[in-house]
Chains A and B, each alone.
Chain A
Amino acid sequence: NAGVTQTPKFQVLKTGQSMTLQCAQDMNHNSMYWYRQDPGMGLRLIYYSASEGTTDKGEVPNGYNVSRLNKREFSLRLESAAPSQTSVYFCASSLLVDPHDEQFFGPGTRLTVL
């Protein structure tokens, strides 16, 4: 099992460009999440999907959109990238949106916006 995979691993964008970060999990989990992590900081939740067909905002949703394509895949889109969106983006999944459920994280996408 690959667990949680993310593409791309690295990306450099110019201000105003758009891109989509891809995430897939093969653990048959119902819930998926997108986080960003800025240097020396904890992770902040951007959006999450409790189950296929649903998405909800997290702490920092502005400037982002998400799509839960199917049970396996959850994508994050930046419509018009800004330097403030330079960060490491992590996708995660868990069996359910449940306080005690362990979240499994992907390897991250390192995004730089110039």
Chain B
Amino acid sequence: GQSLEQPSEVTAVEGAIVQINCTYQTSGFYGLSWYQQHDGGAPTFLSYNGLDGLEETGRFSSFLSRSDSYGYLLLQELQMKDSASYFCAGSSYKLIFGSGTRLLVRP
């Protein structure tokens, strides 16, 4: 089967760095995507890793290790507006989403 595991909740302080991990059990995934979803809102795309290594986009970075079936999303210089749910998704010809990590940023 195909499944992705993430921590259910993470809390961090404004200005800090937080890492959200994602491990997966699947075959046929070409890469790992990350989406952000604020309460009551729609998911929005953050990043995609098609190759092993680190991808950086501003304050957000994402990492993939295919050999370990593992990836993470790194958020730096946390802001209050980063409080949201973050989903990793295995990418093949369709997305398989993890159950999401709720990030709470405290002042």
Contact = CB atoms under 8 A, between A and B. Distances in A.
B43 A99 contact: no
The main secondary structure of chain B at its interface with chain A is: loop
Interface string A38-71: 0011111100101000000011000000000000
Interface string A77-114: 00000000000001000000111101111111000000
A33 interface: yes
Interface in B79-98: 87, 89, 91-98
The main secondary structure of chain A at its interface with chain B is: loop
Residue in A40, A42, A90 whose Cβ sees the most chain B Cβ within 10 Å: A42
Given A43-B87, A97-B93, A102 B42 contact: no
Interface of A: 33, 40-45, 48, 50, 58-59, 90, 97-100, 102-108
Interface of B: 4, 8, 29-31, 41-45, 48, 50, 87, 89, 91-100
